[in-house]
Amino acid sequence: MVDPDILILAIVNASEGVRALVGDKGAKAVFRDAGRQAGLKLLESLMGEFFSVLDKEEALKRACIILEDLGFAKSIKKENGNVVIEEDIFTDAINGENLSDSPIIYFFEGLIEGFVFFMSNQKVTLVPEVVERGKIVYKYS
């Protein structure tokens, strides 16, 4: 079985490889959309069909709880128009100091957006406001 930390490093490095191939904006767009699709498919595989449709705020709250329970971060909370993520699995694996440029941040963003869409059938848009090792804050609308 593959060590989860090695798998995370591979995904982060793959995102950097895509950035080298298609550029910064292209890689961010590709990984955000990949995250959205992964979020939809992951929740579908975990829950099957979701018969009740939640409002967007409740779906976002539940998405945070589910992602935290799945181990994507020690803490994921919806607070005052933000999603605050602490001790996430991605930022420690990013090389260099300019963490906000990594496409993997946009994958995580897309994952949350995909979860919300699956549960609410509504789009939520996240934008990274703070990206530090062990902490990401996304503004949402």
Domains of the chain: 4-140 (3.30.1380.20)
The answer to whether 138 and 82 are in contact (CB under 8 A) is yes
- C-alpha–C-alpha distance, residues 129 and 51, integer Å: 33
Residue 122 identity: Q
Per-residue pLDDT of the chain in tens (141 residues, 90 and over written 9): 778 889 999 999 999 999 999 999 999 999 999 999 999 999 999 888 777 789 999 999 999 999 999 999 999 999 999 999 999 999 999 988 889 989 999 999 999 999 999 999 999 999 999 999 999 999 999
pTM: 0.93
